[in-house]
Structure 1
């Protein structure tokens, strides 16, 4: 059998967003996955993958550590001799791409977001773009999750014509099925993300305090790992009744059942927000920022609202607009969001795009 090697930086993202693709690949190829060990590795192995433990410092900037990653990838490729490599996220794209180039192995890369190193101008941006340009010079195809990222790479001449736009990771419409909309008078909002500044947690907390004081019939939930130093503040606000913090949750569908709206005030450079795709697929209206990876999911005033980045007042205003709607109008927003997911963001679209490009490379 022909072999496909997948390079990723964590097991959770690979399992949650690429499982359906891996299932299809395992029917035809030997599939190897290279990533750090995690709780879902055994589930990936059950899909038919061969696991290769690969420690990655996701946000580290130590050049020696990154050199070791490149050498590790090169060693893996020379050992396995894959017919094709698929890569996701910045470091696997760059150092996996370099390893593929020196070993002359075909590569399909996926730009899952620019990341702060690329979005912020400076020496680090220039270095990262230079590495991208070198690593992707011989790439067979680059998948982009939004037009802004695609235009940026083309404008900077990092790639030429070997690229394709896909609707993010798509959403599994069976797993995230349309849920019955709540009828109760208590309005529940969800924040689902890593607890970090760039995900808009400050704006969410500020809005929660303002709205809760004026609309006591609201509940502001927070789900996610506390990545930065917010835990003390979260506990304090929870004691005062402004929020409910639930930490990491394995299955957020239980929270979508009680939710009336998902709020995602991020200004993090994402490819396409899976949080919003899953919320819309569940039939929930969304409030999010006017940035790439979020605005594509919202028809403003139809299935949600768009706000300015880092603007708490705008967020508060849109929450109040939502609260002024009757429940039937809120439910209709959710139904329009579900329809948009069915037409534009079905994960089957992404899987088919991958299978088409893989067929081109391996024919």
Structure 2
């Protein structure tokens, strides 16, 4: 029996291993031959993709900015790959793979499933550049999705925005899934002795250290609380973009002054999650559902995050954490002080986080939904 071939298109190969590994394996178990297209495969990622039973294929993609010549070259390369491999279905995620993968697939009448993994700063930025890129992104999304088969969103706010702004035609099928899901075994629940035992309370932020993700608010909070309360530790895991030299300097300075503990980028964040008490992400960056929060939910940490779309889905207010307004310092300090004043709530609320991860964000539940969407719409 000939297996249907599905091409997964992404913008960075590590996301296939970190975020889509379980999905790829479940596609293979369900009888699909899986090909993975990315612009930056390296020896180790190729080996790991093949070990999963999938097939890597590389194409050129300029991840950032707009260069019509290079971008349309990507469309041509993807079209060639689809044609030569006789691809039956395309599954693309993140903005450029969705847009250019859709353009290529449309020319070959290949059914396409587009996963919108958040809208990024181009839909929420206030600078001229961000607003300009936002307008271009809207136009390209609209052109690429009008003949697409299915659009899949990771939160209902993004789906509603696409429909309200007529980016997605109302007659097109669209679905919402609960983020990328989290592997509950890999991010196991904390053991009893890993919860706070009455010592200093550890607040931790993990992720790409972009201004839009609230890193400066976290640092301002650390400064404010550090002056008044010696019972709080603030941990930062991640690294800022190369162009944010001012942020790199500030992180180094605050680390040297003992205000924060800065670890830089880490391949495996699990030891830091098990050593932390409360996870903090004061972001206003529009993600589908932040992966870092899902990891923290799974290990059993209370969450402090914002009402930004994609984040609000991860917190039941007062039960497993707190939702605060984005870009506001005082509510963040207030939420931090709650846990300093009520450390006995850390384990109780952490257990509620794990329950939410099990009930809503288990990767196998999310992948079951994705497979159901693909199987229902592949004819």
TM bin (shorter chain): over 0.9
- State the partner residue of 2:139: 130
C-alpha deviation, 1:91, in angstroms: 0.1
1:70 partnered with 2:84 = no
- State the partner residue of 1:306: 323
1:24 partnered with 2:26 = yes
Matching residue within 108, 112, 127 for 2:113: 108
Quote the Cα distance in structure 2 between the aligned partners of 1:224 and 1:326. Answer: 26
Quote the Cα distance in structure 1 between the aligned partners of 2:261 and 2:362. Answer: 31
C-alpha deviation, 1:184, in angstroms: 4.1
Give the alignment's TM-score, normalised by structure 1: 0.96
1:235 partnered with 2:246 = no
Matching residue within 165, 169, 172 for 2:180: 169
- State the partner residue of 1:263: 280
Q: Residues 139 and 162 of structure 1 are in contact (CA less than 8 Å); yes or no, is this contact kept in structure 2?
A: no
| Aligned CA-pair RMSD | 1.5
Q: After TM superposition, list the pairs within 5 Å mapping 1:292-331 onto structure 2.
A: 292-327=309-344, 329-331=345-347
SS at match of 1:116: coil
- State the partner residue of 2:200: 186
1:99-134 deviation line (CA, Å, top 9, x unaligned): 111111000010001122233474432322121111
SS at match of 2:227: helix
C-alpha deviation, 1:167, in angstroms: 0.3
Matching residue within 34, 37, 40 for 2:41: 37
Quote the Cα distance in structure 1 between the aligned partners of 2:140 and 2:326. Answer: 29
Matching residue within 205, 213, 227 for 1:199: 213
Q: After TM superposition, list the pairs within 5 Å mapping 1:6-21 onto structure 2.
A: 6-21=8-23
- State the partner residue of 1:216: 230
Task: Specify whether residues 252 and 67 from structure 1 end up closer, same or farther in structure 2 by C-alpha distance, changes over 3 A only.
Answer: same
Give the alignment's TM-score, normalised by structure 2: 0.92
- Alignment gaps of 5+ in structure 1: none
Quote the Cα distance in structure 1 between the aligned partners of 2:99 and 2:356. Answer: 33
Quote the Cα distance in structure 2 between the aligned partners of 1:361 and 1:289. Answer: 35
Quote the Cα distance in structure 2 between the aligned partners of 1:295 and 1:252. Answer: 23
Quote the Cα distance in structure 2 between the aligned partners of 1:220 and 1:326. Answer: 15
Q: After TM superposition, which residue ranges in structure 1, 4 or more long, deviate above 4 angstroms?
A: none
- Alignment gaps of 5+ in structure 2: none
1:62-118 deviation line (CA, Å, top 9, x unaligned): 222211211111111121120100000000000101111111100001000112223
- State the partner residue of 1:249: 266
- State the partner residue of 1:351: 367
SS at match of 1:118: coil
SS at match of 2:123: helix
Quote the Cα distance in structure 2 between the aligned partners of 1:345 and 1:89. Answer: 20
